Structure 1
Amino acid sequence: MSVDVLTFGLNHVSAPVSVRERVSFPVDVLRPALDGLRSAFGASVREAAILSTCNRTEIYCAAEPQVQEHIPSWLADFNRLEAGSLRPHLYQYQQNDAVRHAFRVASGLDSMVLGEPQILGQMKDAVRAAEQAGSLGTLLHQLFQRTFSVAKEVRSQTAIGAHSVSMAAAAVRLAERVFGDLSQAGVLFIGAGEMIELCATHFAALKPKNMVVANRTLERAELLASRFVAKTMKLSDIPDRLADFDVIVSCTASSLPILGLGMVERATRSRRHRPMVMIDLAVPRDIETEVGRLADVYLYSVDDLGRMVQSGTDARRAAVVQAEAIIETRVQHFMHWLQSREIVPAIVSFQQSAEEVQQAELERARRMLARGDSPEAVLEQLARGLTQKYMHGPLAALNRSEGEERQQLLGLMPRLLPTVERRR
C-alpha cells in the first residue's frame, strides 16, 4: 500500500483561541497522543509527529491515503470534542501541499507574526518528541531535515525576518497605551518559558519599578529573574500579591486557568480600581475570559496581540514572493526524492534478477572450462548467453503487445538498451 505525506491541523487563521486551546497538546501529553494515534490506526499510520504551539496544532503523518478521512475524528475524540464542532476549523494537506505547508510554517510564512523565528525551534522540539516516542521514520525524518534547511535558506537569502515586530514588543506597547511611562509600574511574569523570557527582555529595557517572576518550579523562576535583576515568588502567593502589580504577563502550560474572576476582582478592589493590564499569551488560556469584563482590567489574548502586530509586517511582505519561490523549488526536490523511494523495490528486484542470470551463466562457463573447452569458445558462449537472456524479456513483451502499448514499448526501448562507447 502506498504511503503519503499528510498534514492535519488548525491555526490562528482557521480557529479562534477558544477552539485552539481545546486541542492543544502539552509536552507531557505528546507521547501518549502519538502512541494513541498509531494504536488507533495500526500500520496505516507508519510515522507521526505533533506540533502544538499557542497559534497552531498540527499532525504530520507518513500514512496510507485512506486515513485522512478518519484522523480529524481521532483528533476530536482524543480531546473529548464533538467532531462536527472541530471540522470547520481544520485544514488538511496531502503530498506536495503537505510538504509545502511544512516548509512555509518553519520559514515563518504561516505565522501570526510574519517571519517570526520561534516557530522553527518549536518544530524542532516536536521532532525531538516524535523521535523519543519512536514515531519518526525515514520519510518524516527526511521531511523535517529538509524543512529546517529550507527555513535557514529563506532566512539567510530573504528579508523575511527583518524589522521584526514580536508579540513581546506588542505586549509592551499595550501596557504603554494604558500607563504611558512604565518606570513606576510593577510587572508580574507568570511562567518561565521562552515567550516570558522575550517579554521580560522587552519590559526590562524600560526599567519598570519592579519585576517579579512566578513559576511552578522556583528554580527556573530564579534562573530567569537573575538575568533581569528581578524577584521571584511562588504561584501560591499570587492571590495575596496580585494587587501589587500593574502589568501581568502570563504564559504557562497549565491546562486550567491560573487567574480567575474572583481573584482579580479582589485585586482591583485592593487597588482602589487603579487599572491593570493583563496579557495572556497561553493556549489554553491562563486567565479566565470573564476577567475582561471588569471595568478596570485591560485583558488581551494572544489573538489580540496578533492583530496588533499585523500592521508591522508590510516591510517583510515584499520578501514573501522570493521566499515562496525558494520553497517551491525545494518542494519539487523533496517530491523527486519521495518518488525515487517508490521505485527502489523495483530496482532491487531487477538487480537481483540480473545477478541470478549472471551467476547462472558464470556457472555454465566454469563447467565448460572444467571439461576442457577453449577459453575463447567459453567467452563467446558467455557473451551470447548473457545477451540472449538480456534481450528475451523486452523482445517477448514487444511481440505480445499491440496498438498503443506496442508504440509505447517501441519508444522506450532505445532508452533502455545499453550503448557502447567505441574507442578510436
Structure 2
Amino acid sequence: MIFTLGINHHSAPLAIRERVAFGAEKLQHALADLTRSQPVREVAILSTCNRTEIYCSAETPEVVIDWLARYHGVERSEIAPYLYTHDQPEAIRHAFRVASGLDSMVIGEPQILGQMKDAVRAAEESGTLGSQLHKLFQRSFSVAKEVRSTTAIGANIVSMAAAGVHLAERIFESVGEQRILFIGAGEMIELCAAHFCARQPKQVTIANRTLERGRALAERYNGTAIRLDELGEHLAQHDIVVSCTASPLPIIGLGMVERAVKARRHRPMFMVDLAVPRDIEEEVGELDDVFLYSVDDLAQVVESGLESRQAAVVEAEDIIAARVRDFQAWLQSRDTVPVIRSLRDSAERMRRHEMEHAMKLLAKGEPAEKVLEHLSHRLTNKFLHTPTQALNLADDVERNELQTAASRLFGLHAGD
C-alpha cells in the first residue's frame, strides 16, 4: 500500500514546519534510518520550505509518524494536529498534484518539480526507491508535463522571488538605488537574484559557505562574494537582505542585526527569509527599522494571482483524476503477477515433460507424425485437466461463476 504523510503550508505554520524539515545533507541518513528501523519497504522524503512529506510503501503509516517525531526529537502530540495522511488512491492524487504545482504556495510554480526530482534521486542513491514508488514518481513527472503543456496553469505566474521585489518596492522608492545582500547560492537565491538584479541595484553581494560557488553567482551580476562568517562585518552596508540556506540554525541573530541598524543610523533594512528552518531569528522582525518577511508572508502577496488561474486548475484536476485511475489500474494489475507467473511456470513444466517424452519416442524410431499427434493430445489434456475438473466438481453457484470466468479467460462464445 502506498501512503503519503506530512505537513505543508496549508496544514502547519512555519514554526512547526521548520521543526520537522530535513536538510539535504541529512536526507540519505534519514532514509536509511527509517527503512532500517521500521517495516517500510520503499520510501522517499520531500522536504522544502513549504512542506515535509514522506512517500512510502508500508502496511501502515503509523510507524512512520512515530519515526518522524522521534527522529526530530519532538513529541508526536506536538505535530499530530498538523499532519495529514493519504492512502490509495488519494496518495497517488496528492503526488500528481504536488508535481503539477497545484498544491504549492504559488499555484503552478515550477520549482517544486525539480525539488521532487531531487527527492527521488536521493532515494535512488540510498536504495530506498522500489518499483512502486519509482513508477509513481515517473508518472507524477509525466502528469506534470501534461498539465503544463495542455493548460495555462503556469501562465503569468507570480513567483516568490517576484513577490519579494514587490514588497521591497513598498519600502524603498527604487530597488535600483539599494545595495542587496543575497545569503546562499542555491536555486531559490538564483531566482531571487534574477528578479532583484533586473532592477539594476547599486551593489550586489553574495554570501555563501562555499566561496567559489558564491563567486560564480556574483559574477553574473557584477557583484562580489563573501564567506558566511563575514556576515557581521558586511550586514550594515546593505539595504536589502535575501536569505535562503540549508542551515539547521539561524545564521543571523538579533544582536548582529541590532549592531547593523545602529551602524546604519536607523536607515530601514528590508529582509526576506525564505529558508526553512529560518535563517534569521524571528525576533529581528520586532526591531523598529527592520522589515522582515518569511515565506508565509510572501504567500499572502502571491495569493492575489490565484483567481486568474482557477480555470486552468479545474482543467488540471480533470487530467490528474484520469491519470490516477490509470495508475490505480496499473497497481491492481500487479496483484495478478504472481498468479500469471505461477500459471506460466506450470505450463512450462508440462511442456518440458512432454517434450522429453516425445524425444524418447523419436529416439526409439517412432514416426514423427505420430509423435507430434501424440504430443499435441497429451499437452491439450494436461492443460485442460485442472479447469475441466474444477467445472465438473463445482456446485451450481460456483459452476456458473467458473463458466463465466472460463469463457472470458479462453475467449469462448456461445455455440463454440
**TM-score for both structures, normalised by structure 2:** 0.95
Question: For residue 15 of structure 2, what is the aligned residue in structure 1?
Answer: 18
Deviation per residue, 1:44-71 (Å, 9 max, x gap): 32221111100011111122x23x1211
Whole-Å separation in 2 of the counterparts to 1:89 and 1:107: 23
2:166 is equivalent to residue 169 of structure 1:
no
1:53 aligns with one of 35, 48, 51: 48
> What do the CA deviations read for 1:279-321 (whole angstroms, capped 9, x no partner)?
1000000111111111111111001101210111222221011
Query: Does the CA contact (< 8 Å) of 2:109 and 2:159 recur in 1?
Result: yes
Counterpart in the other structure of 1:221: 214
Instruction: Quote how far apart the aligned CAs of 1:149 are.
Output: 1.3
For 2:131 and 2:158, how far apart are their aligned partners in 1?
37
- Corresponding position: 1:7 with 2:4: yes
SS at match of 2:275: coil
The aligned counterpart of 1:87 is: 80
Segments of structure 1 that go 5 or more residues without pairing to the other structure are none
2:383 matches 1:386:
no
Match of 2:128 in 1: 135
Report the Cα offset of residue 117 of structure 1: 0.4
- For the residue of structure 1 that corresponds to 2:335, the secondary structure is helix
1:107–1:150 contact (8 Å) kept in structure 2: yes
Mean alpha-carbon deviation: is it higher for 315-324 or for 31-40? 315-324
Which stretch has the larger CA shift, 255-264 or 29-38?
255-264
Q: Does 1:289 align with 2:274?
A: no
> Could you tell me whether the CA contact under 8 Å between 2:252 and 2:280 is conserved in 1?
yes
Matches of 2:411 and 2:277 in 1, distance apart?
63
- AA in 2 matched with 1:18: A
C-alpha distance in structure 2 between counterparts of 1:403 and 1:112, whole Å:
60
Superposition RMSD on alpha carbons, in Å? 1.7
Bigger mean CA deviation after superposition, 386-395 or 186-195: 386-395
Q: Say if 1:24 and 1:52, in contact at 8 Å, map to a contact too.
A: yes
Corresponding position: 1:398 with 2:398: no
**Partner Cα distance (1:371, 1:217) in 2:** 81
Match for 2:246 among 236, 250, 253?
Answer: 253
Letter in 2 for 1:194: E
> Which of 22, 33, 58 in structure 2 is aligned with 1:36?
33
How far apart, CA to CA, are the structure 1 residues paired with 2:373 and 2:272?
A: 86
Q: Is the Cα–Cα contact under 8 Å of residues 151 and 312 in structure 2 kept in the other structure?
A: yes
CA distance in 2, matches of 1:62, 1:414: 36
- How far apart in 1 are the matches of 2:106 and 2:358? 72
Question: Which position in structure 2 is the counterpart of 1:160?
Answer: 153
Shift, 1:386, TM fit: 2.1
1:418 offset after TM fit, Å?
Answer: 5.5
Q: CA deviation at 1:405?
A: 2.3
Q: Residue type matched to 2:153 in 1? A: I
Aligned partners of 2:406 and 2:412 also within 8 Å:
no
**Matching residue of 2:327:** 334
CA distance in 2 between partners of 1:419 and 1:405 (Å) = 18
* Aligned counterparts of 2:330 and 2:9: Cα–Cα separation in 1: 32
Distance in 1 (CA, whole Å) between partners of 2:81 and 2:409 is: 50
1:319 equivalent among 307, 312, 321: 312
> 3-state SS of the aligned residue for 2:53?
strand
Gaps of 5+ in 2: none
Shift of 1:27: 0.9
Alignment of 1:303-314 (within 5 A): 303-314=296-307
Q: Deviations over 1:223-243 (max 9, x none)?
A: 111001112222222223222
Distance 1:183 1:33 in 2: 44
Equivalent AA in structure 1 for residue 53 of structure 2: E
After the TM superposition, which of the residue ranges 354-363 and 251-260 deviates more from structure 2? 354-363
* Aligned-residue offset at 1:373: 4.5
Distance 1:332 1:394 in 2: 33
Give the percent of matched residue pairs that are identical in Structure 1 and Structure 2.
58
Q: Larger deviation: 48-57 or 383-392?
A: 383-392
Give the Å deviation of 1:340.
2.0
Measure how far apart 1:380 and its partner are. 3.7
Amino acid at match of 1:309: V
Q: Cα offset for 1:372?
A: 4.8
Q: CA–CA distance in 1 between the matches of 2:86 and 2:396? A: 39
Q: CA deviation at 1:137?
A: 2.1
The alpha carbon displacement at 1:413 in A equals 1.6
Report the counterpart of residue 277 of structure 1 in structure 2: 270
- State the Cα deviation string for residues 184-223 of structure 1 (Å, max 9, x = none): 2121111111111111111111122212111111111111
Contact 1:165/1:313 (<8 A) preserved: no
SS in structure 1 at match of 2:205: strand
Q: CA deviation at 1:183?
A: 2.4
After TM superposition, give the deviation of residue 370 of structure 1 in Å.
4.2
CA distance in 2, matches of 1:187, 1:5: 45
CA contact (8 A) 1:186 1:208 kept: yes
Corresponding residue pairs, total: 413
Residue type at the aligned position of 2:35: R
User: Is the Cα–Cα contact under 8 Å of residues 179 and 201 in structure 2 kept in the other structure?
Assistant: yes
Q: Among 392, 397, 409, which residue is 1:416 paired with?
A: 409
Is contact 1:163–1:315 with CA below 8 Å preserved after alignment? no
2:224 corresponds in structure 1 to 231
Q: Which amino acid aligns with 2:258?
A: E
Deviation at 1:371, TM superposition (A): 4.3
Which range moves more in the overlay, 93-102 or 80-89?
A: 93-102
Distance (Å, rounded) in 1 between the aligned partners of 2:361 and 2:101: 69
3-state DSSP of counterpart to 2:176: coil
